[in-house]
Structure 1
């Protein structure tokens, strides 16, 4: 009976892949949205330029990873790899939630305490996100045998 129930919950091939791609798109767009919201806060030309650079390159990297993920089909041999990536991306969401709650709480609190709470929460959340993002990207490279950035098959120890 238990086996029959668990078999109903087992996704068909491709469901985990779609989940990874949707979660990646959501995560990267949320990350870029936070930068877009932050661009309305500062009025200096330098701060605006830095935000523009973050949005430009962040969007480009996000798009590149989505295209590479779309090239990889899910099959019986790599199903567990897709589930592992989905788990990593789900853990990554906690950093976004922490940053958003900290920013919202800081805005509601106001004054210097609110600003400090928002900044500390945002930086901590982004460190969480970047830590798990790097881990997820390394796992994707090793699990699927792809190279995200650079030439495939190029020796990492070469000093070009």
Structure 2
């Protein structure tokens, strides 16, 4: 009876894939939201431009990763790879938490000290996320045999 109850809670095929995709969508949109919140802290044109660049490229990378994740189906043979991917994406969350705490602390602190704290936390969280995202992409390339940002399918130059 106990095993029958627990078997109902065991995820079906695709549940891990959906979890990875939902975690990616939530966390990447949250991080872009942090940049949008941080843009209200400074009035400088230079800071506004840097923030716009971060939002533009962050949104583009987020969309690209989402599309690549949607292309990969979950099968019985790659189920363990999806579980590993879910763990790796969970490590990304520490960067988002760091950025959120720094932004909230910066807003509470106020003035120039708060601005500096928010920016340092945001940039540190950004680098944390990018570090783990690069690790995840390398693992995905090896686990699923995909090429993220390469020139696959393009003809080689004649002199190569």
TM (norm. structure 1) is 0.83
Counterpart Cα distance in 2 of 1:2 and 1:133: 39
Equivalent residues in 2 for 1:118-133, closer than 5 Å: 118-133=118-133
Residue 23 of structure 1 and its aligned partner are, at CA, apart by 0.7
1:23 and 2:23 correspond = yes
Distance 1:34 1:3 in 2: 44
Maintained 8 Å contact 1:107/1:115 = yes
Structure 2 counterpart of 1:70:
70
TM-fit CA distance, 1:61:
1.6
Structure 2, unaligned runs of 5 or more: none
Within 5 A, what are the aligned runs for 1:30-109? 30-109=30-109
CA distance in 2, matches of 1:147, 1:84: 18
Over aligned residue pairs, what C-alpha RMSD do you find? Answer: 2.4
1:106 and 1:114 in contact (8 A); partners too:
yes
Runs of 4+ in 1 over 6 A off after TM superposition: none
Distance 1:124 1:48, change over 3 A: closer
Cα distance in 1 for residues equivalent to 2:89 and 2:81: 12
Q: Where does the alignment leave 5 or more consecutive residues of structure 1 unmatched?
A: none
Aligned 8 A contact 2:99 2:125 in 1: yes
**Count of residues paired in the alignment:** 156
Q: TM-score, normalised by structure 2?
A: 0.83
Tell me by how many angstroms 1:116 deviates: 4.1
**Deviation of 1:127 (Å):** 2.4
Q: Do the aligned partners of 1:146 and 1:152 also contact (CA within 8 Å) in 2?
A: no
> What do residues 40-87 of structure 1 show as CA deviations (whole Å, max 9, x unaligned)?
223233322222222122212211111111111100010011111111
